[in-house]
Amino acid sequence: MQETKDIIPKLEMEKAKNALDEAKILFDSEKYYGAANRSYYAAFHAMSALLIYDGYSMKKHSGVISKFRELYIKTGIFETEVSEMIAALFKIRTECDYDTFYVVAKADVEEQIKNAELILELIEKRLEVIN
């Protein structure tokens, strides 16, 4: 059981880092819709890593976000700004993926990537502290 608790969060963090790298590559290639998608998934996998470490496994994106807010935002472990970043990441990713008429701005995607990077750093530090 301890092995699973240690390995799966590490694998999720690797997915998060890979998604962030992909977001940066796509951004540099002016593929802003893809970059927005990958920046959201970077944060999503990082949130999942922390939740899994703490014994939670959510099947839906909304479940991951909701449980993350409950356990880490409302308790003060992370600032409320992190919750706002997550909401923006989710909103823009959803609009990029599903709204045919949505036009994403380069500056918005650049901010998405910075926010995803910050979320990864915060979660990585949290995992180091509790290990």
Give me the pLDDT at residue 2, please. Answer: 56
Which helix (H) or strand (E) segment holds residue 131: the answer is none
Sign of CA dihedral 102, 97, 59, 82: negative
pLDDT, one tens digit per residue, over 2-53 is 556 679 999 999 999 999 999 999 999 999 999 999 999 999 999 999 999 9
The C-alpha atoms of residue 116 and residue 131 are separated, in whole angstroms, by: 22
Q: What does the DSSP 8-state code read for residue 79?
A: -
Q: What is the pTM of this model?
A: 0.94
Q: What does the DSSP 8-state code read for residue 73?
A: I
pLDDT, one tens digit per residue, over 67-100 is 999 999 999 999 999 999 999 999 999 999 999 9
CATH architecture of 2-130: Up-down Bundle (1.20)
Structure tokens at 6: 């240690």
